[in-house]
Structure 1
Amino acid sequence: MMRSKWRAAIAPLLFLTPALVALIGFRLLPACWLVQQSLSGPDGEFAGLDNFEFLFSSPTFAKTLHTTLTFVAVAVPLQTAISFGLALLFAGNSRIVSLLRILVFLPVLIPSSVAAILWGAALRPQGLANALLSSVGVSAQPFLASPDQALMSIVVTSSWIGVGFWMIFLIGGLKDIPRDLYEAASIDGAGKLSSLWHITIPLMRRPLAFVIVADTVAAFLLFAPIAILTRGGPGGSTQLIMYDVYQQAYFFNDVPLAAAEGLTLMVLMMVIMLIQFRLLSREKQL
């Protein structure tokens, strides 16, 4: 009897062990190491908050932080809106819609490094983008070579990579909405816009909340397009925090400062996600 109870108690722990080992090994221990390194000096000695004081007194980091927040503030709403629009267009089950949905999703299957190279070729002075602009009478644009256009070019590149992925989640949410709600609204004389505003959007708050939060994390952690296309330039106009962490650690060999910057990025993401969850939950209560 005791043996059977022991087996019943130990069996769930055995199933949870791989997940617990992965959580400790790939999440908790690296997080502890990050905190320890952020409080260390160049020679490994305890330095307290010196790295953070240096970061927040540095005009260069202030510009990097501003650029990162600008990128997130533009990229996340843009990608969410485009993904939602595409989900509304391609939520049907016809063959043409299915084919178009596959075409929109294809960039997700391409590695981000390959996608960045493709967009780098398209945005060159003699690339496809300027060829299309010249065909409609618009002069050639510098795109990645311009401090005023480089960040928006990265926004376009990351959006091309990501919108198909977020679209799939939103299509799943749209398919969970009962069709009889739309039929009842149609009987009551509601048009498509009215149904969209009063039925679709309220019932899509949870999928939209997931997309907004997940896309925010992805935007903060964007790395490959920056590293391949601009390397933070020109003039620091695309210097995001994630790429700056990479530079501090591998180019300048300042691991403690990189750890402090990485911890700052993690805390910043958590704060913004908490604000998002709070606002979205408040909307749900209203």
Structure 2
Amino acid sequence: MSTNTIAAAAVAPKGRRRGGPPRRRPDRSQSIMGYTFSGGYGLLLLAFGVLPTLYAIFLAFTKNGSFVGFDNFVKVFGDYRFLPAVQHVAIYLVVWLVSLTLLVVLLALIVHAVRARWLSTSVRFLYYIPGALAGASSVMLWLFLLDPTVSPVSGVLNAMGLHTFVQTVSIDNLPIIFTVIAFWTGAGGWIVIMFGALNNISTEVMEAARIDGAGAVKTAWYIQIPLLRKWIAYMGIMSLAAGTQLFVEPRVLSQASKGVVPPDYSLNQLAYLYAFRQSDFNGSAAISLLLLVVAVALAAFFVFRGGLFDRE
């Protein structure tokens, strides 16, 4: 390196990178706006996320203000309703996450393969419409769909041997029913997200696959799905978090079926009964903390297995 080059590097502006354009510092107004938006979110997260979590941790390990160790957890584990609720939620999560992953990825690939732009846009819009309905509203709609006496799909229900609402919402059918309801309300948004991720795959990569003679199935299996891994992991984390909080659907069905669906079907329902029927907020907090720990552990599994934060 010559002396002139060294001297030029020594007197170069501080914000200039070697061999590239100078760095532009963010405008002060942009920085203020960024801190304003993130600060508002931070305050809401602190008020409605961090502080309630800390208070729940305090309640879970105390009784009447005194530290009791794991007594509240032992009491919850000994409750005859706890293990059935765990089993119900676990079965639902397995059915929900497996079906969501397979169907969302498959439908996103099909929509992405549609060449007619108007048709692809229309299908994505139709997929997304159910997501505009709130959870309680969608469950109310499904109350009519699940009743063979008034359902527009009563023929299908009768063909399955379901002739009354009570038969339809039996305990054995609930994981499938909750999966169908959750898929109907939430899968459309994930299909749109996966479609956007597929559009970000390099056209050169896709063109190279076609030149090599790869068909649609091989291209999807060896190129598109591996490149969707991070998005699939993200979908799994968010869907897992929502699935462990199962509450609205079984509660509404319990009220509609007059107790056929038990009021303690899910862990969230059991925590609700502890808090507002038994006035035992410490036991309710213990159940909530258990749900949090399990959800965080499973989310960590998705993060590391899915390479969510790996850099390409």
Q: Does the 8 Å contact 1:123/1:129 carry over to 2?
A: no
Output the CA distance in 1 between the equivalents of 2:35 and 2:223.
Answer: 45
Q: Which whole-Å deviations, capped at 9, do the CAs of 1:21-62 have from their partners, x for residues lacking one?
A: 333222221111001111222x44433211101112233201
Identity %: 23
Give the superposition deviation at 1:162.
Answer: 1.1
Q: What's the counterpart of residue 228 of structure 2? A: 204
Q: 2:71 aligns with which of 37, 50, 74?
A: 50
Q: What's the counterpart of residue 4 of structure 1?
A: none
* Equivalent residue number for residue 96 of structure 1: 119
Segments of structure 2 that go 5 or more residues without pairing to the other structure are: 1-27
Which residue number in structure 1 is paired with residue 106 of structure 2?
Answer: 85
Judged with a 3 Å threshold, the aligned counterparts in structure 2 of structure 1 residues 139 and 49 are, in CA distance, closer, same or farther, namely: closer
The 5 Å alignment of 1:1-286 reads 15=36, 17-41=39-63, 43-91=64-112, 92=114, 94-128=117-151, 131-133=154-156, 137-141=159-163, 142-230=166-254, 234=260, 236=262, 239-281=265-307
Question: Which of 1 and 2 has greater Rg?
Answer: 2
Provide the rounded CA distance (Å) in 1 between the counterparts of 2:58 and 2:263.
31
> Structure 2 length normalisation: TM-score?
0.79
Q: 1:123·1:143 contact (CA, 8 Å) conserved in 2?
A: no
Letter in 1 for 2:47: G
1:157 and 1:49 mapped to 2: Cα distance?
Answer: 37
- Alpha carbon RMSD of aligned pairs, Å? 2.8
Q: 1:39·1:256 contact (CA, 8 Å) conserved in 2?
A: yes
Shift of 1:235: 6.0
TM-score normalised by length of structure 1? 0.85
Contact map agreement 1:151 1:237 (CA 8 A) in 2: no
AA of the residue aligned to 2:240: T
User: How far did 1:20 drift?
Assistant: 3.5
Change (3 A) 1:248 1:17: same
Aligned to 2:265, the other structure's residue is in SS state coil
* Superposition deviation, residue 124 in structure 1: 1.3
* Structure 2 counterpart SS, 1:244: helix
In 1, Cα distance between the equivalents of 2:85 and 2:216? 43
Secondary structure (helix, strand or coil) at the match of 1:124 reads coil
Q: Distance in 2 between matches of 1:14 and 1:113?
A: 35
Change (3 A) 1:191 1:17: closer
Distance 2:189 2:264 in 1: 24
Over 3 Å counting, the alpha-carbon distance change for 1:81 and 1:57 in structure 2 is same
Aligned to 2:13: none
Output the amino acid matched with 1:71: Y
